[in-house]
Structure 1
Amino acid sequence: MESVLLKQINSPKDLRKLSKAQLNALAAELREFIIDVVSTKEGHLGASLGVTELTIALHYYFNTPYDQLIWDVGHQAYGHKILTGRRDVFETNRKLNGLSGFPKRSESEYDTFGVGHSSTSISAALGMAIASQLKGETEKRHIAVIGDASIASGMAFEGLNHAGVTKANLWVILNDNAMGIDPSVGALKEYLLKAKVGKRPKQDNVIEALNFHYAGPVDGHNFEALLHAFAELEQVEGPKFLHVITKKGKGLQKAEEDQVRYHAPGKFDKITGEILKSTETNLPPKYQDVFGLTLLELAEKNEKIIGITPAMPTGSSLKYMMQKFPERALDVGIAEQHAVTLSAGMATQGMLVFCAIYSTFLQRAYDQMIHDVALQNLPVIFCIDRAGLVGEDGATHHGVFDIAYLRCIPNLIIASPSNVIDLRNLLYTASLGIKNPIAIRYPRGRGDHTDWQKEFKKIPLGKSKYLLNGSQVAVIGVGSCVIDAKKAIAQTEDSSKYSLIDLMFIKPLDVEFLKEVLRTYQHVIIVEDGSKKGGVGEEIAQLALQEKFKGKVILLGIPDQFMHHGTTEELKDLAGISSGAILKVLKGLE
């Protein structure tokens, strides 16, 4: 299909010149354009396909960017980006120095609020609406588009609760497809499922109880229904809520049939939808699968083991335990705070709780880690996935702050295994029973061992170890950086000069071991996949100062800036922690 209409649209002003009769043809072109690009360049697919008509209708009806359109999370914003002047550069989406995969204020005036984590849209839109009231801009409309999984989060309800006692010109559009990344869960989902297009969900409406004017549900793939609903709501003052039913993956049969896999499918055939399989064989397992399969193995032997994840059973691979022990593996929805305190409550009753959560999302439950877990010294086992740089998802998703924000919490053990076998054995060690909470952090992607399902071995807590013994320089690696450091040492002219140490435990530090390192070597380099500020390198440097170490202490880590999107290797190089960057530092000491 030739993009006749889409080629004419360089901004929503151009879109508004079309007749209503042309909108369905534009939707078909926009959907095909998204499929064409994502099939080869990769990215988030299903969410944007599902809101194609809704996206066009919003920009057609509302006077964006004067009217403020706020997307929640941003997985669904590809059509929005294409219609707002970024069509010709959309192929750079998620690439280094290209478009962000999420709405980003510095990228376009149409991206009114930067997003990447869920459930922020209502609070942000309400803040904008109240500010507009104070400035006398009462006619300006503020539209939050939020999904059924995101609206179940506590923060979304905080925003709804506040908005309901204001007269703000706030529109909340619920994009209801019964999906997040995985299927939505919880009582609110069950409530929404009872809603049918054209019929109110219940006589006692939970949204109206919060003082919103409720309309819908309406068919989110029907322009007449959407535009009519907008016009009807226009007559109502104060906060209003439109319930829109959509289908994630709409327009690509495979994406409609397998909505979880086609959330972000990788490369696929744009005609058939078939995902293109890698030609590589005997690949090492993903860290997340080592976690998920090991936890299942441990749970089969110990009925006290519980798995908890906030809305990421597939992404964290808790799905394996959920399939075998659904009563002991719980998806609590997009509710990180609840997940952590739920884990704490279970731990008080003697359960061995493994809370699987991405590093970037754990930031949302920081108080609960301190107040509900560590302060009470409850032995919750935090399995922190996506630690370090994660690549194309960019600044909102990098797990580069967890070392800094966890290190200062009393009672908490922090481990960062450098390979999948150590991850497996750390999970086993924690399952034997521990007296303190422990955070086990591991990266996105694959490990470097194919033969990993070995007999379990208990790991001594708080101990570091030598991987290479050299004579002059000690390189201390944290987590995934150990592999890069090893590659760098292998490329030096005389690798016998360098020792490589796997720190393994960030807290407690193996202080006596490190003191011996400082007494033995001329120089020490610490490489970590987290922020240099507040990182473990600073603590080792402080120890070197106390021990009156005479050589250089070089800290390598994420610089004091937000790292944006690109491949993980590109970003490691920019941060100075790739094998090539480490090699340059080593050569500088020769």
Structure 2
Amino acid sequence: MTFELLSRIASPHNLRDFSEEQLRRLAAEIREALCSVCADRTAHFASNLGVVELCIALHSVFDFEKDRLIWDTGHQIYPHKLITGRFAEFDSIRRKGGLMGYPNPAESDFDLFMTGHAGSSVSTILGMKTADDLMRADGRKAVAVLGDGALPSGVVFEAFNNAAGLKKDLLVILNDNKMGICPRVGGLAETLDKARVAPFYNGLKRDVAWLLNKLPVVGESMEHALAQFKDAVKGFLHGGMLFEEMGFRYIGPVDGHDIKALRRYLELVKDVRGPVLLHVFTEKGHGFELVRTGLHECGERRDLLGDETRHSRLRAHSRHVRGQCTQQDSHGDSRSILRHGDLRKPRRRVRRRDGKERNAADRRHLQYVPSTRVRPHLPRGRASESARRVLLGSSRSRRSRWTDASRRIRQHIPALLSQHRADGYEWGTDGMFIAFGTLFGECVRAAAKLRSEGLDVGVINARFAKPLDTETILKAVEDCGFVITVEESTLCGGFGSAVLEAANDAGLHTDHIKRLGIPDRFIEHGERAELLADLGLNVEGFVAAAHAMSSIETKL
């Protein structure tokens, strides 16, 4: 397919020269571009297919060189990137050095903030609107697109409450695709699903309006009664009353794949005073049947986990304490995150192409939570067994880590987790790798290579970062010529720091200890193997670090 229209777009202003037929053709070209680029890699494919028409309508009605636009969740931004002049670079998306799969202000002035799965858009756009009003930036519109699982975030309702109180001119577009990563559930979902009978309500509203225009004015009592009637009908027929009770003017629902209808409604609400919520129905994966069934991505791995909210994790924990199996939660997936005393959002270390949206800082936060035990990933099967030990065998809480790399090192995971002991896989006299987590297998291979070169280097699998197996680890610190700690998490306050603290508390010298891990900065997106190589967290990097430490010890 030739991208005749898409290739002509240097900025969203070009859309104003397109006819309605050309806009529909543009939507088809954008879907074709998404299919040709994203179908061969893990990407947020389906959610982007669902917002094509909405994105076109937004950019054809508003001027986002002046107006404000925030997408939440941020991974539904691909059509926005195509329309804002990044078509020529689109093939690089989620590749190292290429476009990010989320909004990125470094790429374009049209991307105001980086947004991931935080549900922060309404709060952010409200803050920007407040600042614009203080600077008397009259006429600048503020729009937040909220969808693909972002609405259940508690911070969204805090922002709704604040926005209604401030009475700011704010447009929130609810992109309702009935999904997050998986089909939504719960009371809020049921409330929103009522809106799918709304065409009857909207038709009734038009008929009543026509009838009233034919009647003489009968005073405030009739006006008040009709307002009550409207609220009652709206509350019965769809979920708009939820938002109206919170102080938003509810409009919709609108077919999110009808560009003409979307533009008409956007023009209607563009100049409405006060906070407005426009309810838009879209279909995740619209226009591509394979993705409609696969939902999340077309690559090797397909996530079908439920959205992880603070409430759901706490609820899951309380269930498990009562003896229910981990695998019964999160739609049968054993990667449920268990936590007690830790309320931070989980992040999965250096992971695929997600860049800053998923990073490695969570372990250091957990280190300082009293009575918490921290260990790395577990493969499927071990996770359920471990969860029972965690929740039924101790009053303390523990934190497990699962990553995409876990399946590669299953053979190294010990069966008895309740002892909290490190595993001396190989013991060396010249040096020792102490690995925490996903890079244990690489350490084993690096040690084998070093032994073939005449350097006696061993490997310890530190199965817990907290409590630390000080007996095993401090023995290595005392006996070995050098010790290298390895972790796929941040060095600042990480596992290596815990080893240094333990050695210092024991009165041992630490000059021969080197820490390898992620530096104190955000890691950009790219293939996991590429990123780890850049950080020196692969076999070659470990071998080089061991040779460097061995040279220092020889000089000493």
**TM-score band w.r.t. shorter chain:** 0.7 to 0.9
Q: Say which of 385, 404, 424 aligns to 2:364.
A: 404
Q: Verify: 1:545 aligned to 2:504, yes or no.
A: yes
Which residue pairs with 2:548 in the alignment? 588
8 Å contact 1:417–1:504 — kept in the other structure?
Answer: no
Alignment of 1:338-487 (within 5 A): 338-343=311-316, 345-346=318-319, 369-370=341-342, 387-398=348-359, 400-416=360-376, 426-427=386-387, 429-430=389-390, 433-448=393-408, 457-487=415-445
Shift of 1:558: 0.5
**Structure 1 residue 226: deviation in Å?**
0.8
Change (3 A) 1:22 1:391: same
CA distance in 2, matches of 1:142, 1:44: 25
State the Cα distance separating 1:228 from its structure 2 match.
Answer: 1.0
Amino acid at match of 1:464: A
Q: Secondary structure at the match of 2:443?
A: helix
Residue 386 (structure 1) shift: 6.4
Question: Contact (CA 8 Å) 1:531, 1:557: kept in 2 or not?
Answer: yes
Indicate whether 1:262 and 2:234 are aligned: no
Distance, in Å, in 2 between the alignment partners of 1:418 and 1:369 is 21
- For residues 239-258 of structure 1, the aligned pairs below 5 Å read 239-256=275-292, 258=293
Q: TM-score scaled by structure 2?
A: 0.84
Quote the Cα distance in structure 2 between the aligned partners of 1:233 and 1:436: 53
Q: Deviations over 1:61-99 (max 9, x none)?
A: 000121111000222111100111110000110011110
Q: Distance in 2 between matches of 1:98 and 1:412?
A: 39
Question: 1:262 offset after TM fit, Å?
Answer: 3.4
C-alpha change, 1:210 and 1:422, in structure 2 (3 Å) is closer
Distance 1:195 1:568 in 2: 42
Structure 1, unmatched stretches of 5+, are: 268-285, 289-311, 316-330, 372-381
8 A Cα contact 1:464 1:503, kept in partner: yes
- Asked whether the 8 Å contact 2:478–2:508 carries over to 1, the reply is no
Deviation readout 1:11-64 (Å, 9 max, x if unpaired): 101122222332111111111111111123442211111111110000010001
Any residues of structure 2 matched to 1:64-143 within 5 Å, and which? 64-143=64-143
Q: Which residue of 2 aligns with 1:301?
A: none
Go from structure 1 to structure 2 and tell me whether the alpha carbon gap of 1:119 and 1:450 turns closer, same or farther (over 3 Å shift): closer
Distance (whole Å) between structure 2 residues aligned to residue 451 and residue 411 of structure 1 = 29
Q: Look up the equivalent residue of 2:20 and give its one-letter code.
A: K
Work out whether residues 477 and 526 of structure 1, in 8 Å CA contact, stay in contact via their aligned partners in 2.
Answer: yes
Stretch deviating more after TM superposition (137-146 or 417-426): 417-426
Partner of 2:226: none
CA contact (8 A) 1:11 1:85 kept: yes
* C-alpha distance in structure 2 between counterparts of 1:236 and 1:402, whole Å: 43
- CA distance in 2 between counterparts of 1:37 and 1:347 reads 42
**Gap change, CA 1:27 and 1:352, over 3 Å in 2:** closer
1:352 is displaced (CA, Å) by: 6.7
Distance of aligned partners of 1:361 and 1:99 in 2 relative to their CA distance in 1, 3 Å threshold: farther
Task: Decide whether aligned partners of structure 1 residues 130 and 435 sit closer, same or farther in structure 2, where only a CA change above 3 A counts.
Answer: same
In 2 relative to 1, CA 480–337 (structure 1 residues): closer, same or farther, beyond 3 Å?
same
Following superposition, the deviation at residue 557 of structure 1 comes to 0.7
Per the alignment, do residues 66 and 199 of structure 1 end up closer, same or farther by CA in structure 2, a change over 3 Å counting? Answer: farther
Letter in 2 for 1:459: L
Q: Does 1:566 align with 2:526?
A: yes
Structure 2 counterpart SS, 1:443 = coil
Cα separation, 2, equivalents of 1:41 and 1:457? 34
RMSD over aligned Cα, in angstroms?
3.0
* 3-state SS, counterpart of residue 175 of structure 2: strand
Query: Aligned-pair distance for 1:209?
Result: 0.8
2:254 aligns to what SS in structure 1?
Answer: strand
Give the deviation of 1:176 after TM superposition.
0.9
Give secondary structure in 2 for the equivalent of 1:152.
coil
- 1:206-285 correspondence runs (5 A): 206-256=242-292, 258=293, 261-266=294-299
| Structure 1 residue 351: Cα displacement | 5.8
1:170/1:239 contact within 8 Å kept: yes
Q: 1:542 & 1:579 partners in 2: Cα distance?
A: 26
Q: Which residue in 1 is equivalent to 2:144? A: 144
CA contact (8 A) 2:431 2:482 kept: yes
Code of the residue aligned with 2:352 in structure 1: it is: G
> What is the aligned residue count?
509
Matches within 5 A, 1:43-82: 43-82=43-82
Residues 489 and 423 (structure 1), Cα distance of their counterparts in 2 relative to 1, 3 Å cut: farther
Larger Rg: 2
1:35 maps to: 35
Secondary structure of residue in 1 paired with 2:394: coil
Distance in 1 of aligned mates of 2:132 and 2:511: 58
The CA deviation string for residues 555-580 of structure 1, in whole angstroms up to 9 with x for no partner, is 01110100010111111122222222
2:461 counterpart of 1:502: yes
Distance 1:370 1:250, change over 3 A: closer
2: distance between equivalents of 1:266 and 1:428?
32
List alignment gaps of at least 5 residues for structure 2.
203-232, 236-240, 551-556
Question: Separation in 1 of the partners of 2:418 and 2:436?
Answer: 17
Alignment partners' CA distance in 2, 1:441 and 1:184: 25
Q: Distance in 1 between matches of 2:82 and 2:444?
A: 43
2:446 maps to 1:488: yes
**Which has the higher relative contact order, 1 or 2, with Cα contacts under 8 A spaced 6 or more apart?**
2
The alignment partner of 1:539 has SS state of helix
1:513 to partner: Cα distance: 2.0
Offset, 1:244: 0.7
Aligned partners of 2:522 and 2:158: how far apart in 1?
Answer: 28
**Alpha-carbon separation, structure 2, partners of 1:434 and 1:564:** 39
Number of the residue aligned with 1:533: 492
- Residue 376 of structure 1 corresponds to none
Q: Please state how far the C-alpha of 1:212 moved relative to its aligned partner.
A: 1.0
Query: Cα gap change, 1:200/1:536 in structure 2, threshold over 3 Å: closer, same or farther?
Result: farther
Partner Cα distance (2:290, 2:390) in 1: 40
The farther-off stretch of 228-237 and 205-214 is 228-237
When the two structures are superposed, what TM-score results if normalisation uses the length of structure 1? 0.80
SS in 1 for 2:107: coil
Distance in 2 of aligned mates of 1:419 and 1:43: 23
Pair 348,470 (structure 1): closer, same or farther in 2 beyond 3 Å? closer
1:148–1:482 distance in 2 versus 1, CA, 3 Å:
closer
Over residues 93-145 of structure 1, what are the superposed CA-to-partner deviations in whole Å (9 max), with x where a residue is unaligned? 00111100011122210011211123111111111111111111131111111
The answer on whether the counterparts of 1:386 and 1:443 sit within 8 Å (CA) in structure 2 is no
Q: Give the % identical residues.
A: 31
